[in-house]
Structure 1
Amino acid sequence: MAAAFEHDIEPNLEHDIEPNRTDLLPWWIRYCNWLFMLGIITVPIAFIMTLTGSDNVYFDAYGITARDVFSPAGIILASVILFNAFTAYALLTENDWAIDIAIVDALIGITLCSYAMSAAPGIFRYELIPLALFLGKLLGIRTPWAQLKNK
């Protein structure tokens, strides 16, 4: 009877589900991706509010502030928000080029934060911390992301 309990249980590798690319992303990147996807709603709302003459439009990201979508800062911030949503969608849909676009997105964020910090010396933009972690994680999973494409 003891022999019945002595067999090894080995996983059947033929029937195991292979990991997908989204599994390479930590939970906090997936969570932020969904927030960025929801954040895309703010751009058309701000556009409509600006066209109707509302004074309640206020964009603020990476240390850049805009009260009008059609100002240079407003155009930059609206473009960055749209690009963040595009990047989030690319990562969540596991596109081949998603990591490259996300790296560009992180570098744009770091550049904008650095610009804002140089314009106001002595102020540290805390967005740099998650941006640096995001960039580091993207660089770390770039190769496995590409390898999952070939399987």
Structure 2
Amino acid sequence: MDSSYIDYFKKFSFPKRKHLLPWWFKAFTYVFIALGIVAILGLVLGVLGFSFPVTLYGIETDEPISLIGVLLFVLFIFKGFTAFIILRGRSWAIPLAELDAIVGISLCLCSLIILPYVGIHQKSAILTIPQFLLLIIYIVNIEKIKTTWNIASY
């Protein structure tokens, strides 16, 4: 069979990867791309000496240039990068999204279970539970589209 027929068939028989994402998922990807950009700006402002609170997954700090602050900025930038790669429809977006979700779930569980027992009290602990639930929905949706994503076209 001629390869042009195969390319033509493949082009129209499989959905585009971006069409596999629900509308709310796309909305969150745009939010996290914006947060990734803000995190880069926040990191620069922190280096310039500004001080402001940074919070993610119940882990918080008031000093952006500290071990926790830099870790949180790296997480925000990673989440923004992951969101960008998902929207671009790259084949390696799903494993990256799974890693993003697993890291997020692990940090949420750590801040919910471990931090209160070692004497670290977080002001934003109440926000950790909704973040945890959204991460569960996120990873379930990633797993749901995983097989189709791998055979879909850009």
After TM superposition, is the score higher than 0.5? yes
1:44 maps to amino acid:
I
Bigger CA drift: 108-117 or 17-26? Answer: 17-26
SS in 2 for 1:54: coil
2:27 maps to amino acid:
Y
Aligned equivalent of 2:142, options 103, 113, 138: 138
How far did residue 16 of structure 1 move?
A: 6.1
Partner Cα distance (1:88, 1:139) in 2: 16
1:127 and 2:131 equivalent? yes
When the two structures are superposed, what TM-score results if normalisation uses the length of structure 1?
Answer: 0.80
How far did residue 42 of structure 1 move?
A: 1.9
- 2:6 is aligned to none
- 1:23 is aligned to 19
SS in 2 for 1:40: helix
Cα deviation code 1:82-133 (max 9, x no counterpart): 1101100110000001011001101111011011001126966221111001
Q: Percent identity?
A: 26
1:66 maps to amino acid:
T
SS in 2 for 1:90: helix
Aligned equivalent of 2:42, options 40, 46, 53: 46
More relative contact order in 1 or in 2 (CA 8 Å, sep 6+)? 2
Gaps of 5+ in 1: 1-13
Bigger CA drift: 15-24 or 139-148? Answer: 15-24
1:80 and 2:75 equivalent? yes
Partner Cα distance (1:52, 1:90) in 2: 30
Q: Which has the higher helix share?
A: 2
Alignment of 1:52-67 (within 5 A): 52-55=48-51, 57-67=52-62
Cα deviation code 1:45-99 (max 9, x no counterpart): 32233233223x1111100102222211112111110110110011000000101
Q: Please tell me whether Structure 1 or Structure 2 has the larger radius of gyration of its CA atoms.
A: 1
- 1:9 is aligned to none
Bigger CA drift: 115-124 or 23-32? Answer: 115-124
1:146 maps to amino acid:
N
